Amino acid sequence: MQVTRGCYGTAPFFYPKNQGNTSVDIDGLLVGGSSGYPFRDRMPGSVKNLNVIDGSWVYAPVDVNCSVVTPFQTQVVQLGGNGQPVRTGTTIECAGDGN
């Protein structure tokens, strides 16, 4: 996701409530792109092996309804020379307002 003229967009991954969605299960997703939040989720389910590219957010790396997501396993990564994620050793705690 690319920022254009200061418009950060919503998120490269955004799964909102009240739009016909029922649940989501993530396992092995890479997100980034200088957005407000690279990953936003309002639906119940699980998040495992979520990789958020280091520095690719304006407000925070995630915005999640944590009360309905379990487990939540997310880490900050950098992209290696081959374009594959390389872990930085930094985990991301579940955070968000739940709206």
User: Does the residue 59 lie in any domain?
Assistant: yes
User: Does the residue 17 lie in any domain?
Assistant: yes
Q: Are strands 69-79 and 85-91 parallel, antiparallel or unpaired?
A: antiparallel
Q: What percent of the chain has pLDDT over 70?
A: 86
User: Does the residue 23 lie in any domain?
Assistant: yes
* CA separation for the pair 13, 6 (Å, rounded): 19
Predicted confidence (pLDDT) per residue in 34-74, tens digit: 678 899 999 999 999 999 999 988 889 999 999 999 999 99
User: Does the residue 96 lie in any domain?
Assistant: no
Q: How many domains does the chain have?
A: 1
Question: What does pTM read for this prediction?
Answer: 0.87
Domain span including residue 81: 13-91
User: Does the residue 57 lie in any domain?
Assistant: yes
Q: How far is CA 19 from CA 42, 79, 85, 98, in A?
A: 11, 33, 31, 15
* CA separation for the pair 3, 58 (Å, rounded): 10
Q: Looking at residue 98, what is its pLDDT?
A: 62
Predicted confidence (pLDDT) per residue in 1-42, tens digit: 555 666 656 688 999 888 888 999 999 999 987 678 899 999
Query: What is 55-76 written as a DSSP string?
Result: T-BSS-SEEE-GGGEEEEEEEE
User: Does the residue 5 lie in any domain?
Assistant: no
User: Does the residue 99 lie in any domain?
Assistant: no
User: Does the residue 21 lie in any domain?
Assistant: yes
* CA separation for the pair 2, 75 (Å, rounded): 21
